[in-house]
Structures are given as C-alpha cells and as structure tokens.
Amino acid sequence: MKGNEFREWSLYAAEWGADYRDTLRERPVRPLVEPGEIFKSINASPPEDGETMQAIFADFEQKILPGMTHWQHPRFFAYFPANAAPASVVAEYLVSAMAAQCMLWQTSPAATELETRVVDWMRQALGLPEGFSGVMQDSASSATLAAVLTMRERALDWQGNKKGLQGQPTLRVYSSDQVHTSIDRAIWVSGIGEENLVRIPVAGRFHAMDIIALEAAIVADRKSGMVPAGIIASVGGTSTGGTDDVAGVAAVARRHGLYLHVDAAWAGSAMICPEYRHFWAGAEQADSIVFNPHKWLGAQFDCSVQFIRQPEDLVRTLAIKPEFLKTHGRDGIINYSEWSVPLGRRFRALKLWFLLRAHGLENLRAMIRNHVVWSERLAARLAGEPDFEIVTEPMLSLFSFRHIAAEGWDADDHNLRLVNAINDDGRIYLTQTRVDGHVAIRFQVGQFETTAADIDTAFETITEIARDLA
C-alpha cells in the first residue's frame, strides 16, 4: 500500500465491519453453498502482479462472504458460541496494527504484565482462591495438552522429556466419555497413547464419572504395574453438558497423588455468577483449570485462560532457554512462552481487558443469566408439545431434544433430516449429538446479541419444520 491507502482501507474495513454486524439478522445463519463452490471461484494460480484493494475487496464480498457461516448471528444456537463483543474486536484492531510478538517480557513488557493482571481479574471473577496463577493460551486444546504433558512429567519423575517414553512404565489418564475430543488429541500428542485413556462409566442427570469406578480403575492399574498419572474432569461437556462431581474426583486425586485438570471451556464463563458455582464445587482443589472467554464471555477468538496451582511444574515441563531467549539483568520476570507449547504468542490480554472494562462483570452476568433462563423456557415449551421430547435437561443454557417420528419411521434418520432441514432453512443453526446411542438435537443459547425474540423464532422454526417433515 502507498501513501494514505492503509489509513483509507483500515477505515473502510472498520465501517464494513460495523455494517456487517448491523445486518446479521437479515442473513441466513449458515450459507447455502455446495462443497467446492467457493474453491472453484478463486483463481487457480497466484497473481504475478499486485492488484488493487478495490478488486480484492470486491472479490471478498462477492466470493468469500456468501460462503461464511455467521458465528456472531444472534440465532446461532449450534456448537458453543465463539463470541466477539464489539469492544474486543476494537482491541483486536489494535493488536493487528501493532503486530507484536509477545513471547517474552522484553519483547513487549506491557503484554506480559497486562496478561498477569487480567488473568488475576478472571480468577477473582470466578471465585477461585489466591493460590492460582494463570496464562492465556490460544484454546482449551493447547491448555489441555500442557496439562497432560505436565502430568506425564510429574508421573515419570521429570524424565519423559529427557529420555523419551520408550522403556518407561505405561502411564494411565482417567476421564469420562463426556470430555471434549481435545483430551483424546492431547493423549495422542503426549505419547501416552489412546489405549491408556481410561473411560470411567457415567451416571445421573449430568453424566458424571462414577467415583467408585474411578478409584477402582486406579487401584487396578497400579496392581497391574501401570502408573496412574492424572484425571481430567469435565464441567459442561460439549455433547450435552456432561459435568463431573469435581469435589469427589479431587478427593480421589489427592488420595492417589494424581494431577487433576478441570476442563470447563464453555461452562467456566458462567462461574462469574455465584449461583452457578455449585456446578464446579471442588475446582479450587484442581492442579489446573481451563475456560474459554472466547466462548460465552464475549472475547474475540482466540482467548483461553488456564489457571495453574504450581506454575513451576508447567515451566519445568515446557521451558527451553537458549541464550538468544534469555533476558539478562532482570530478575522475577515472567516469560509466558515458557508456560505454553508454542514459542510465539499473540497479545491476547488486550481484548479481555477492553471487554471487562467496557461491560463490567455485572452486565456480563446479566447476559449469561438471561441465556440460562431463555434456554430453560424453550426446553419447557418443547416439552409441552405432544410430538417433542426433551432428551437431556438444561445444563446452564444447553439441552437436547428429539422430534417423535411417525410410526414406522426410523427416529434417528428422522431427527437427522430435521436438523438438516432446519439449517437449510437459514433462520437458526443447530447441531446434533448422540445420547445413549441415539440422535438428539442440541440447543444452546450463548451468542452475545441474542434476545428473547430470537428464542421465540427458534421455537417457531423448530416446530414448523418438524411438522412439515412429518
């Protein structure tokens, strides 16, 4: 870009972004495009000469935008939210413009020190004790990998990184089948191996790990010569909100000297509301906890906070200090690249700082409380319809349901057809899961701009399309 072009196009992009957000309700939540359609519309070879920004932006609007799913749409009820409150978007403009590499204190002192302060703000907001430090990771997947690597090293007396896993005893990690697939991936990447992730049976409304079965599995593995390394507890699992008895799991972890990691990636945001903290009672006893402000709280992706009881164990697991990364003449500083797997780090703390200051905790609490109430009301309305059934009751703002198929129809096939028809309609966006082996349709409220009227639209859309199919 030459002259004032950067200024002009930055202003243009900001105006475009504001207009885009203002018109989201007019757009279908999910695009109606066929696989490969966007790919075919893009030139097969890169340009030899530069093109004008006008031409590039026109192609963006004509070719790219029609193929985007609108995650900030107020009727996005699929997966979990990936909110980007406007205040956090403004902060990301600044982060992109500065383009700082924030891997060490010396590479951006303000980024490191703001991260330390903002993570402690979140600790206070969630009601966690002062014993926790923390770090901002890109996602819960990275935080969980860091936790699994730490539990591996502790269990191997810090010899895994040095000697490798060959010749070491078999390590075991324990969880339910309600945890996110990022746990499976962390087990793969850490070298522990899929067969050594022990799935504990679940029971009850929230599909919690059976504490007796958990302890029995640990004892049996020790007798067999294997080494239990850690437990991963779920609070608000992705499928239906599966939530473990964290206090009970923590007691088992203490008795057996195991590392406990709590995955509260989605539900953790709700813990800014004191009345919901019973869902993770006992979390203060964990070795690490992860939650994603980029889900329900409103921070632009990526923004994950990992709280850690003993950061020295994490640093011992992950830190590498070649001469060119040392900060000479400075004592007591934190280099957050030593707390995470990647060396490079974005300035993530700025958007969370903007968000918390622009909204304040009480306004964020009000949003989350509304989402929970609206979800419960929608579940009650669907339960009152003779051709619908609630499969899993609301866990915070997430529940699942089925439409009752006509006699002789396959219920799973019918509900898959229903969720596809709803999404093709464009007014709302839902996803499916399986509960006890059968298809159920998930519904969660979490988008920053959602209103009660959007929930009414969801009810009308679901019931209308279900009855058209039937």
Query: Concatenated DSSP letters for 344-355?
Result: -----HHHHHHH
Mean pLDDT of the chain: 92
Task: Give the Cα separation of 372 and 396 in Å (integer).
Answer: 5
In terms of Cα–Cα distance, which of 181, 191, 190, 182 is closest to 141? 182
Q: How far is CA 387 from the centre of its chain?
A: 33
Query: 233: which strand partners?
Result: 262
* The pLDDT of residue 293: 95
Query: 259: which strand partners?
Result: 230
CATH superfamily of 360-469: Aspartate Aminotransferase, domain 1 (3.90.1150.10)
Task: Give the Cα separation of 355 and 458 in Å (integer).
Answer: 28
Q: What is the distance between the terminal CA atoms of the chain, rounded to a whole angstrom?
A: 57
- pLDDT of 322 higher than 60: no
* The pLDDT of residue 324: 46
* The pLDDT of residue 323: 45
Q: Give the three-state DSSP class for 393.
A: strand
* Residue 317 identity (one-letter amino acid): T
Which residue shows structure tokens 């200090």? 321
- pLDDT of 109 higher than 90: no
Question: Do 207 and 175 meet the contact criterion of CB atoms below 8 Å apart?
Answer: no
Pick the CATH number of 101-346 from 3.40.640.10, 1.20.1740.10, 3.40.50.1100, 3.40.50.12280: 3.40.640.10
Q: Confidence class of residue 90 from pLDDT cuts 50, 70 and 90?
A: very high
Domain range summary for the chain, segments of one domain joined by +: 5-72, 101-346, 360-469
Q: What is the pLDDT of residues 60-86, one digit of tens each?
A: 999 999 999 999 999 999 989 899 999
* The pLDDT of residue 328: 41
Q: Confidence class of residue 321 from pLDDT cuts 50, 70 and 90?
A: low
* The pLDDT of residue 132: 94
Give the H or E element holding residue 388.
Answer: strand 388-395
The dotted CATH code for 5-72 is 1.20.1340.10
- pLDDT of 465 higher than 50: yes
- Here the tokens at position 128 are 């966690």
Most trustworthy range by pLDDT among 29-43, 100-114, 219-233, 322-336: 219-233
The residue count for the chain: 470
Reported pTM: 0.91
441 or 183, higher pLDDT: 441
* The pLDDT of residue 326: 55
In terms of Cα–Cα distance, which of 362, 358, 308, 355 is closest to 334? 308
Q: Confidence class of residue 288 from pLDDT cuts 50, 70 and 90?
A: very high
- pLDDT of 332 higher than 80: no
- pLDDT of 329 higher than 60: no
Question: Do 341 and 318 meet the contact criterion of CB atoms below 8 Å apart?
Answer: yes
Do the domains 5-72 and 360-469 sit in the same CATH topology, yes or no? no
341: phi then psi, degrees, rounded to nearest 5 = -70, -50
* Residue 267 identity (one-letter amino acid): A
Dihedral sign of CA atoms 194, 198, 199, 204 in order:
negative
Question: Do 290 and 261 meet the contact criterion of CB atoms below 8 Å apart?
Answer: yes
Give the mean pLDDT of 367-383. 97
| Poorest-pLDDT segment among 160-174, 261-275, 277-291 | 160-174
Task: Give the Cα separation of 156 and 347 in Å (integer).
Answer: 34
Strands 171-175 and 208-209: unpaired
* The pLDDT of residue 397: 96
